[in-house]
Structure 1
């Protein structure tokens, strides 16, 4: 598997509501405990999701030849091009509705979350987000094309968790400065969720086509 193509997808995994959740938890009163619970959920969800998507890709590979990762006309690349088209449509939809788009109501509820809820959130922001499912399917297809095993996806899984840990690390390392700055970042991301969604879609498109 070409890690130069796969590892950057970890950034897309945590972009959007995922990193917004991480920022919210990093501003909580018990930030370390709650954020760690969230990251455990992210780790378990990503590990499970990649395993399932690798199984899907392997099953499809038995019926459809994905071809080589270097062959731009292979079935594997055709699937990725379909994903690109869907992402572009999603970005356009967010742009058209930017005046009325509001952040998900569940994001506000996270401000009073405990560790158990943070753990569930870590699971759900990975396993129910269409963008993350598409990323993990892309990883599964790359693994199948290269005839690699699940073990080869471990760096991707680790980097996904590492990206999610950035807000907590900033909170711990920068102390009061981060604690005072993060609420402003959290509010900006909530108020501009449409822009965050568009950026996520475009990053994913670039990474797929690169």
Structure 2
């Protein structure tokens, strides 16, 4: 994977309830401890997810990545269609779409629960599974070793850590701003979802 692909993929991994959770955790009383638990869950789930997807895609002949008719390319075109449908659906339903109710319970989370949230979000979120599957296809088609996905994994964790880093660097100013950011992402979850889908479509087609 080249450097131009890695950062957008890592950003897309954390858009949606993932980054909303990270923002909520830095507004809790024990922000650092809870956030570190969340980051540990994200790191483990991303590493395991990429490894599994590489194993799955490596079991099939996906063809040459330069061949537009290869199995790997066809799979990605199907994913583009599904993502486009998801973006349109979010736009049509934007007035009624609300963030998951469980997000509202995270303010009382401890480090152990935050770890589970990070682990489950990456492991079960359809958008993240699609991204890790795409990373697996990329690795398999290019006969790349697993370690070549480490920059992607590291950047994903770094993006997840941004709310915590901002709070640590900006102190009181960040503490005042984070609740407003949290509330905005909650009320504009449909827009966040559309951004995820559009960015990922662009990445696949590019």
In structure 2, how many angstroms separate the alpha carbons of the residues matched to 1:3 and 1:60?
Answer: 26
State yes or no: 1:51 paired with 2:51: yes
Task: Report the TM-score, using the length of structure 1 for normalisation.
Answer: 0.95
RMSD, aligned α-carbons: 1.0
Structure 2 unmatched ranges of 5 or more: none
| CA shift for structure 1 position 192 | 0.9
1:144 aligns with one of 140, 145, 150: 140
Structure 1 residues 48-197: aligned runs within 5 Å:
48-61=48-61, 66-197=62-193
3-state SS in 2 of match to 1:68 = coil
Query: Is the Cα–Cα contact under 8 Å of residues 6 and 139 in structure 1 kept in the other structure?
Result: no
Note the C-alpha offset of 1:67: 2.0
Kindly tell me the number of residue pairs found equivalent between the two proteins.
Answer: 206
Q: Is this contact kept in 2: 1:13–1:135, CA < 8 A?
A: yes
Structure 1 CA distance, aligned partners of 2:57 and 2:3?
18
How far apart, in 2, do the equivalents of 1:2 and 1:59 lie? 23
- Tell me: CA distance 1:3–1:146, structure 2 relative to 1, closer, same or farther (3 Å): farther
After TM superposition, the score normalised by the length of structure 2 is 0.97
* Contact kept in structure 1, 2:6 and 2:151, CA below 8 Å: no
